[in-house]
Amino acid sequence: MATRSKSSQRWLKEHFSDPYVKRAQAEGLRSRAAFKLEELVERDRLLRPGMVVVDLGAAPGGWSQWARQALGDSGRVIASDILEMPGLAGVEFLHGDFREDSVLSQLVTMLNGAEVDLVLSDMAPNMSGVDAVDLARAMHLAELAMEFADLHLRAGGDFLIKLFQGVGFDDYVRELRKRYDKVSIRKPAASRRRSNEVYALAQGRRARAKV
């Protein structure tokens, strides 16, 4: 049997000693990422009964699971990911690559004309370790998520997206500011300090965006 690399051993040690991992396991949550969403959403009271929420890059389901619980028996949570995701009660799941037009069309069909109140995007590419490549891939996904919000988010709705700091970040945030009344950059406590991920919270979708 091959021995684990030092970096792999270090990651495993960090993962299993992580208080958010332990808490997620204790509370029956799919992933520690749920606590990122909890902090980001509760601070600004983004979830209300009856809302339609779309969760892009949902697997393994931590965000969708938390959102469904927060909404109670009302509203809808529609999730999508290129990876398979075990079923969650009350969550509609679309398995497919969001970069493909056919998958986007299926997602639109699932909405059946309903406007979305909150778009969540925790999408990220498979990281190659080459920053220039990884940032370009991540930014492409972020642009697709913003285009989806442009088309399907109701006026006054909110958009929460994971971004990676680097080339293209400032331009992306400027584009958000054209579309929304308020844009904040947040790094929740559950985000690992060494990660260059942050979350952009765009609130108050303008009826006529200056795009």
Name the nearest CA neighbour of 116 among 64, 151, 80, 163: 151
Q: Is 182 assigned a catalytic role?
A: no
pLDDT value at residue 107: 96
Considering just the CA atoms, what is the radius of gyration of the chain in Å? 17
Residue 1 has pLDDT above 50, yes or no: no
Residue ranges covered by each domain of the chain = 6-205
Task: List the catalytic residue out of 36, 162, 187, 210.
Answer: 162
Judge if the upstream peptide bond of residue 125 is cis by omega within 30 degrees of 0: no
pTM: 0.84
Phi, psi of 56 (to 5 degrees): -95, 135
Residue 18: which pLDDT band, with cuts at 50, 70 and 90? low
User: Is position 122 annotated in a ligand binding site?
Assistant: yes
User: Is position 81 annotated in a ligand binding site?
Assistant: yes
Measured CA distances, 176 to 121, 166, 171, 188, 210 (Å)? 14, 16, 9, 20, 10
Instruction: Tell me what percent of the residues of the chain surpass a pLDDT of 70.
Output: 80
- Please give the CATH superfamily to which domain 6-205 belongs: Vaccinia Virus protein VP39 (3.40.50.150)
Model pLDDT for residues 100-111, shown as the tens digit of each residue: 999 999 999 999
Residue 119 has pLDDT above 60, yes or no: yes
pLDDT value at residue 98: 94
User: Is position 204 annotated in a ligand binding site?
Assistant: no
Using CA atoms, how far apart are residues 138 and 113, in angstroms rounded to an integer? 28
Model pLDDT for residues 31-86, shown as the tens digit of each residue: 666 778 888 888 888 999 999 999 999 999 989 998 998 999 999 999 999 999 99
